Structures are given as structure tokens and as C-alpha cells.
Amino acid sequence: MNAVTVFSPAKVNLYLAVTGRRADGFHDLVSVVAPLDFGDELEAGSREPGAGSQFSLACSDPAVPVDGSNLVWKAAHAFAAATGWKGGMSFKLTKRIPLGAGLGGGSSNAVATLRALNQVSGAKLAEAKLFEIATTLGSDCALFLKNAPVIVRGRGEHLEVLAEGSRLHGRRVLLFKPGFAISTVWAYGRMALRKTDYLPADQAEQKIAAWLRGQAPAEEILFNNLEGAAFEKYTALPVLLGKLRNEFGVAARMSGSGSACFALLGDNFVTAPLVARIRECWGPAAFVQEARLA
């Protein structure tokens, strides 16, 4: 195989409980994460590595760096180091997931890179080895190896595929993001400074366990305690979310560290008035995208 195209899905954190800061500076969390049927696309084709770098990267979005800071580059070099593969690869990333959104775009791209290289190189690494590589690239990366809703624990290295995925699978969701991004590092750092937003791990687990035992819809599990830090500075987020809940009765939250938010929709929900309200509040350039939970 000389070329392959890999789908790179976005994700939403339906439930995100940051439980505390670790001694290494990272944070522990308990989260219910679902991939979407919306995302980026990564094309990978074999190339001769002799003329310059082993890898090359092009992207449809000029705002996305295509140098060594991109997780596609980092994943490719991590794969080569782990396997000893000496071949070359050209990557072309069609970017649809907005940057700085809390939708996992970069992490998803990293895992798409690992999948593409695993196919084209013929290395045929087992998922356990891909998981090992993914965890070195970022806290959100490994969850994209599971094409299903998962419970994420620790830094993101402990995954449990949700057996109750049927309550989530196929649910309509509207993604929307203002013109500004939120740095993940800033959001977690601000939470650490505030010191008031953490949810003890036992309480976080109890909330998930209670939801799994019952038959409540996905709306009942929505939670994100990073919102406190984000909303303190970026007031446009809570103002709009409050309007959407009050005016349209939708369950709406921020995803991850933001700035993207999402609303769960019923099958017969008409989105046009909701989209119009979002654009009225955040301007016509606001990113709005309907998707479904995978």
C-alpha cells in the first residue's frame, strides 16, 4: 500500500470532572468522551526520504503550523522511532476542526497519523503498541484509538469503552465556537490558581455510576468543571449558553477547555432558529457545525 486516507474525528466531552493537580503538574480527570462523525481528513502517501526530511506536511488551513510543532510531525517521528521504519511519507491534512476549540483536533490528527503509517509502512503494530505511542504524544490522544464513547481517567491513559454507548450513539449535536480560542494550558493553569473548581474523584465517579445504572438520556450526564475558569474571563460563553438553554430548552455545555461549545438536539429539532441566535450573539463568522455522536 502506497497511499491511504484516514478520517480524523472531533470529540466532545459530555462529562468532564477535573479532580485535582498531580505532583508532575498535570491534572487527573474523569471524563465521558464521544467521537463525532465530523472531523479532519489526513492523506498519507509514500515518498523518498533521501531529499530532505523523512516526512512532509501540507495543510488546507494556513493558520495551522506545518513544522515540528504539529502533532502530525510528532506522531510520525514517534512511530518511526518505535518501529525503526526508514521510509518517507507525505501528509496532506484537510482541516475542518477549528483550532483552540477543545474538540481534540490536534490529538485526533496524531492518532490518524499513527493509523496511516501503520497501514502504509506495513509495520502492523497491535493496538496496544499504538496506544503506548499515543500516550506519549498527549493526554487526549489515546482515546481516539477507540471508535466509541469512552470513560477517560488519570491523565487520559486509562480508558473504558462504554457498554451503554447506545444512549449516546447517533445523537445529534450542534457544535459552535466564537472567533477566539482558549489555550488548554491557560485553562488548566487558571483552574489551579482558582483552587475552588476541582471535584473529588469519588464524587466524579459516583455521578457517572449513577447515570450508567439508570436510563437517563445523555442530557443528564452533561458536566464540565473547567467552565468556571473559562467563563470568568470569556463571558461571551456563559451568556450565550444561558440564552440557548432558556430560549430553546437545549442542553448545552462547553467542550473540554473550550472555546467550542455544543448542544444536544432531539431528532426532530429544527436548528435554523438556534443557529441564527448563535450568529446574532457571536457574529456571522462564528463556527457552527451539526454532527452526530459516533
Q: What is the pLDDT of residues 167-200, one digit of tens each?
A: 899 999 999 999 999 999 999 999 999 999 999 9
pLDDT single digits (tens) 212-255: 998 899 999 999 999 999 999 999 999 999 999 999 999 999 99
Residue 163 CA, chain-centre distance (Å), reads: 20
pLDDT single digits (tens) 247-289: 999 999 999 999 999 999 999 999 999 999 999 999 998 999 9
pLDDT at 50 over 70: no
pLDDT single digits (tens) 89-127: 999 999 999 999 999 999 999 999 999 999 998 888 999
Distance CA 95, CA 74 (A): 17
Treating both helix axes as pointing N-terminal to C-terminal, what angle do 127-137 and 105-121 enclose, rounded to 10 degrees? 140
Q: What is the structure's pLDDT at 164?
A: 65
Distance CA 9, CA 144 (A): 8
Fold of the 3-161 domain? Ribosomal Protein S5; domain 2 (3.30.230)
CA atoms within 13 A on the CB side of 48: 2
pLDDT single digits (tens) 120-177: 988 889 999 999 999 999 989 999 999 899 999 998 889 999 976 678 999 999 999 9
Q: What is the structure's pLDDT at 165?
A: 65
Residue 80 CA, chain-centre distance (Å), reads: 25
Q: What is the structure's pLDDT at 51?
A: 59
In the chain, what percentage of residues exceed pLDDT 70?
97
- Bridge partners (DSSP) listed for residue 293: 36
Prior bond of 259 cis (ω within 30°): yes
Kind and range of the H or E run holding 237: helix 236-248
The CA–CA distances, whole Å, from 78 to 59, 122, 226, 238, 291 equal 20, 16, 30, 39, 31
Cβ atoms 187, 266 nearer than 8 A? no
Q: Which residues are catalytic?
A: 11, 140
Query: What are the residue boundaries of the structural domains of the chain, listed by start?
Result: 3-161, 170-292
Residues 6+ apart with CB under 8 A from 4: 43, 44, 45, 116, 119, 120
Cβ atoms 67, 31 nearer than 8 A? no
Q: What is the structure's pLDDT at 1?
A: 61
Distance CA 95, CA 64 (A): 8
Distance CA 141, CA 152 (A): 11
Q: What is the structure's pLDDT at 139?
A: 86
- The one-letter amino acid at 92: K
Cell for 123? 509495520
Give the three-state DSSP class for 49: coil
Fold of the 170-292 domain? Alpha-Beta Plaits (3.30.70)
